Amino acid sequence: MASATKKPARKVIVTCAVTGAIHTPSMSPHLPVTADEIAQAAIAAAEAGATILHLHARDEETGRPTQDPAAFERFLPRIKQGTKAVINLTTGGSPHMTVEERLRPATRFKPEVASLNMGSMNFGLFPMLDRFKEFKHDWERQHLENSRDLVFRNTYKDIQHIVESCSGNGTRFEFECYDISHLYNLSHFLDRGLVKPPLFVQSVFGILGGIGPHPEDVMHMKRTADRLFGDQYVWSVLGAGRNQMPIASMSLALGGNVRVGLEDSLWSGPGRLAESNAEQVRTVRALVEGLGLEVATPEEARSMLSLKGGDDVAF
């Protein structure tokens, strides 16, 4: 009897979002704040298996999110030298920033990938005040309180401006879709020829103001993206807070990719803070491999997403 040919395992892109703008330094002693901490955390996440590193920066004195290119310049070259991972810079920054502020790192450093929020939305962080009572810095409590009256602005004009500002540099996008309408917004830009496939669609679940984390919400996102984009997209998910690993598991079962990291969740289990980004990467890698799948290498991800390559950046 002839032996069966072994089918290659499906490759899964694992993105790690290292620090972000949602959580504050008081919420976890493990949240990277300084350039040294961000560089070390990013490299450790890549060593643990992260394919893509999604990066924000922070003011080293206050821990406040910043889009000052000088803050990024203190860690980007070190991460590039220390890992082969794809580097993805935020254009989301913080909901409290202007679009021009948010754009500065991506236009200055010309990364392979930049995140792009696909619609305006309420962005409610204030429920975290029920969990966290003591803060190191004066701005932290107000940061959360202000989200009761906060619209994260991403108009059609804003989105087009970001696309046109970055596309000439060969930067492609992680399209962050917090609700079904964001998928339709992306379809609009695809129909106009302003964005090109393959689309890297990051569906976000569990942020107050966006779609919820119920399995039916995940299925609704996937069905809608399939109908709108067919074979023109690569799907990934992130679940906020305690939803991180359950949402990741659903994505893997549905043929998708995953994002983890301390930007999205501070936790490694019920009431247990993750001690590092690398810990979350190792956890999701175990899920990937437990399903008979393989984590994509950075070069495999570059092929899957049609990226320009790690040498063609400005850092």
Check whether 1 has a pLDDT greater than 70.
no
Check whether 3 has a pLDDT greater than 70.
no
Question: Do residues 209 and 121 lie in contact, with contact meaning Cβ atoms separated by under 8 Å?
Answer: yes
| CB burial string 222-236: b at 16+ within 10 A, e below | bebbeebbeeebbbb
Q: What is the dihedral of CA 24, 101, 53, 154, to 10 degrees?
A: 90
Q: Would you give the DSSP letter of residue 56?
A: -
Q: Which pLDDT tens digit goes with each residue over 48-105?
A: 999 999 999 999 999 999 999 999 999 999 999 999 999 999 999 999 999 999 999 9
User: In terms of C-beta density within 10 A (0-12 exposed, 13-18 middle, 19 or more buried), how is residue 30 classed?
Assistant: middle
Helix, coil or strand: residue 29: coil
Q: Which pLDDT tens digit goes with each residue over 16-26?
A: 999 999 999 99
Note the pLDDT of residue 4. 65
> What tokens were used for 278?
């690398």
Q: Which pLDDT tens digit goes with each residue over 60-70?
A: 999 999 999 99
* Structural domains of the chain, ranges and CATH numbers in brackets: 11-305 (3.20.20.70)
Residues contacting 30, CB < 8 A, separation 6+: 262, 266, 273, 274, 275, 276
Strand partners, 15: 52, 259
Q: Which pLDDT tens digit goes with each residue over 152-202?
A: 999 999 999 999 999 999 999 999 999 999 999 999 999 999 999 999 999
Note the pLDDT of residue 5. 73
Nearest-CA neighbor of 303 among 5, 72, 6, 11?
A: 11
| pTM for this entry | 0.96
Distance between CA 111 and CA 104 in Å, rounded?
Answer: 12
Which phi-psi region, left, alpha or beta, contains residue 8 (left: φ > 0; alpha: ψ -120 to 50)?
beta
Residues contacting 122, CB < 8 A, separation 6+: 150, 151, 152, 208, 209
| Mean pLDDT on 135-148 | 96
Note the pLDDT of residue 269. 92
Distance between CA 32 and CA 53 in Å, rounded?
Answer: 14
> What tokens were used for 242?
């305690």
Give 3-10's long-range contacts (Cβ < 8 A, gap of 24+): 9/292, 9/293, 9/294, 10/255, 10/293, 10/294
Q: Which pLDDT tens digit goes with each residue over 244-263?
A: 999 999 999 999 999 999 99
Check whether 31 has a pLDDT greater than 60.
yes
Check whether 29 has a pLDDT greater than 70.
yes
Question: Do residues 218 and 225 lie in contact, with contact meaning Cβ atoms separated by under 8 Å?
Answer: no
Check whether 2 has a pLDDT greater than 70.
no
Note the pLDDT of residue 102. 98
> What tokens were used for 39?
């560089």
- Please give the backbone phi and psi of residue 279, each rounded to the nearest 5 degrees, phi first: -60, -45
| Mean pLDDT on 274-291 | 98
Angle at 261 between CA 260 and CA 266, to 5 degrees: 115
User: In terms of C-beta density within 10 A (0-12 exposed, 13-18 middle, 19 or more buried), how is residue 211 classed?
Assistant: buried
Note the pLDDT of residue 6. 78
Note the pLDDT of residue 173. 98
pLDDT more than 70, % of the chain = 99
| Mean pLDDT on 292-298 | 98
pLDDT band for 7, please (50, 70, 90 cuts).
confident
Note the pLDDT of residue 294. 98
